[in-house]
Amino acid sequence: MSRLLLCCLIVAIAATGALVITSIVAFPERPGPPPGNPGIPPGPPPNVQAVAVIVLVTGVFVLSWLAVLVVFARDQILRRLGEGGDPERMRELLTEVRAELAADREREWQIIAERLADYGEQRETDGYLNGMRVGTGSQPAEENVRSLRRPPSQR
């Protein structure tokens, strides 16, 4: 068991105890009159501070046990990697994966650059054609201006 897992487990157990104690202290059983009795005033309003404390302690409880699960999974992965054997083989695999990721990233950047270039050329051509139409005065500028984005459809 790793030190990190041991620490997370201790915190999780403490959070569980805190949740149990807080729920017992915050909501003791108080028998009272049944609701809706005529002539008997309603009881006091619920204690809002107790509810806030319960919510806070419950959050710590959930996060601490989640941390235990994550650290346990991490330890299992590290143990299996350690049992895998040849560290040189692991380095080779990591190098291959890094090379594949770099190639994928480069390919994606090329696609984005091509799309941006197409977009720029389209905008430049639209601007030139619009300027020529306005310059020749063949059509009023207001009629020929089109936005690149379509207006949202009205339903």
Res 143 pLDDT > 70: no
* pLDDT at residue 93 in the model: 85
Residue ranges of domains in the chain:
1-30+46-84, 86-146
Whether the pTM exceeds 0.75: the reply is no
Res 53 pLDDT > 70: yes
Q: What is the DSSP letter of 145?
A: -
When pLDDT is cut at 50, 70 and 90, the band that residue 154 belongs to is low
- 3-state percent helix, strand, coil for the chain, nearest multiple of 5: 75, 0, 25
Tokens of 122: 């389209």
* Tens digit of each residue's pLDDT (9 = 90 or more) over 91-126: 888 899 999 999 999 999 999 999 999 888 888 888
Q: Is 142 helix (H, G, I), strand (E, B) or coil?
A: helix
